Amino acid sequence: MNRNSALNELEGALQSLGRSGPGVRYTREQLTQSYVMLISGHFQAYCRDLHSEAIDYLIAQVRPATLQAIIRSELTRHRKLDQGNPNAGHLGADFDRLGMTFIPDVKSSDAKNILRLADLASLLEKRNAIAHQSFAPHLGQSQLKMSDVRRWRTSCDHLARAFDLVVHKHLHTITGSAPWPLI
């Protein structure tokens, strides 16, 4: 399923809920928590795919071809995005191995990305609280607002484009050719 479709379906389910009635509040809360998990999961999958695609492009330039699998293996060894959240630390650890300064590049590509990265950190903090059903006092369960969730999703959308752009630019710089068409 397309990533946007999956998220839109959940958004639609939330909107179709009535304002009141038996179990509505509980259902809304559960759907909102699912929404947070889904945004985080899709964003992680997107970042991992981008990393894989970048490696494939980079490795395709390597000659002799007998070296390719050896280098491929090294670039995905202990990849943080295979198991961990797409937080700034993990993103930097994985993408910096391609020879770039990922997070600084993202921040310098658009000043708004600093706030978007802060939104991503908030999303992941809430995602972890939901996954472990561990709500620290300052993260109170009741503080999960749809306006926040929607803003996090929008920030992730923008970050996805920014990540694509900085990785594209980096690969273009080091190989001399554009890895994929930008839209």
**Residues found near another protein in the complex (CB under 8 A):** 2-4, 7, 39, 42-43, 46, 49, 52-53, 55-57, 60, 66-70, 72-73, 76-77, 79, 82, 153, 156-157, 160-161, 164-165, 179-183
Q: What is the distance between the alpha carbons of residues 183 and 180, in angstroms, rounded to a whole number? A: 10
- For the chain, give percent helix, strand, coil, nearest 5: 75, 0, 25
Pick between residue 111 and residue 183 the one whose CB is nearest to another protein.
Answer: 183
CB 6 to another protein: min, Å: 9
Pick between residue 139 and residue 164 the one whose CB is nearest to another protein.
Answer: 164
Do the beta carbons of residue 39 and residue 144 sit within 8 Å? no
Pick between residue 108 and residue 175 the one whose CB is nearest to another protein.
Answer: 175
Do the beta carbons of residue 7 and residue 35 sit within 8 Å? yes
DSSP 17: S
Amino acid at 175: T
- Which of 23, 90, 61 has the alpha carbon at shortest distance from 173? 61
CB 62 to another protein: min, Å: 12
Number of Cβ within 10 Å of residue 79's Cβ equals 17
CB 171 to another protein: min, Å: 11
In sign, the C-alpha dihedral spanning 4, 10, 11, 16 is: positive
Do the beta carbons of residue 162 and residue 49 sit within 8 Å? no
Amino acid at 103: I
Pick between residue 41 and residue 121 the one whose CB is nearest to another protein.
Answer: 41
Pick between residue 139 and residue 158 the one whose CB is nearest to another protein.
Answer: 158
CB 155 to another protein: min, Å: 11
Pick between residue 3 and residue 139 the one whose CB is nearest to another protein.
Answer: 3
CB 68 to another protein: min, Å: 8
CB 164 to another protein: min, Å: 4
